[in-house]
Amino acid sequence: MNLALFDLDNTLLTGDSDFEWSQFLIERGVLDRELFEAKSLAFYEQYKAGTLDIREFLDFQLKPLSRHARKVLDQWHEEFMRIKVRPMMGDKARALVKEHLAVGDVCVVITATNSFVTAPIVREFGIEHLIATDPEQRNGEFTGGVAGVPSFREGKVTRMEQWLGERGWGWDSFERSCFYSDSLNDLPLLCKVKRPVAVDPDATLRAHAEQQGWPVISLR
C-alpha cells in the first residue's frame, strides 16, 4: 500500500484558491475592494515568504463566511468553481492524480486553505480524502472561527498523523509515501515522506530540493 499526498494551491492548481475566493467575493461586491484586497495581498506575500501568522490570517479570512448563510455561500461556490477554479485545474495535474489513483494509492490532498473552499475542488479531482483547515460551524453555519489545528506548516504534520492514527496507520504502514508541494511552508511534511517532490517550487524550496536531491517537476 502506497500513500500519495498533494498540496493544492500552486501545486495541483495553477493558482491559489484562497486568494481567488477573496477576489471572487470582491468582484461580486460582497467584500470591499479597497479595504480587503490590500490586506489579502499582504497576507499572500507573507505566506510566500514563510512569515505568515496563520491565526491572524484565519481571523481575517474566515470572518466573511460568518456573515452569509451557508445556502448562499454554497451557491456562490458553484459559480466560483466555474469562473475561477476549473481554469486552474490543468491537464498535467489531473493526469498525475489519475496515475496515482489508477494504481490504488491512498490519495490525500492536504492544504492550509479552509475546507469550505477546497472540498468541492478536491472532489472534482476525484480524490476522496481531504485534510484542510476547518472553519468552525454552529448549526450548519460558519462562526468565523477555526475548529482544531490549522493545517499549516508543522500543523500539517500534526493533522496528517492524526488522520493516519484514526485509521490505525502510521508512516511505516506504507511501502512508499510521496508528497507533492510548491511551498517552503511544507518543508516539515515534505521531510516526513519517503519521496518528497517539489512542484513548480518557490525559490527557497527549489534550492532545498536541489541540495537534497529531491525531484523537481512542473505541472504547468
Active-site residue list: 7, 9
User: What is the rounded CA–CA span in Å between residue 65 and residue 143?
Assistant: 7
Which residue has 473552499 as its cell numbers?
117
Closest CA to 30 of 71, 65, 58: 65
CB-CB neighbours of 60 under 10 Å: 16
| CB contact at 8 A, 57 and 43 | yes
Closest by CA position to 15, among listed 89, 120, 115: 89
Q: Rounded CA gap, 132 and 189, in Å? A: 14
Strand, coil or helix: 185: helix
Tell me how crowded residue 144 is: count the other CB atoms within 10 A of its CB.
Answer: 16
Q: Which of 188, 182, 202, 159 has its CA nearest to residue 8?
A: 182
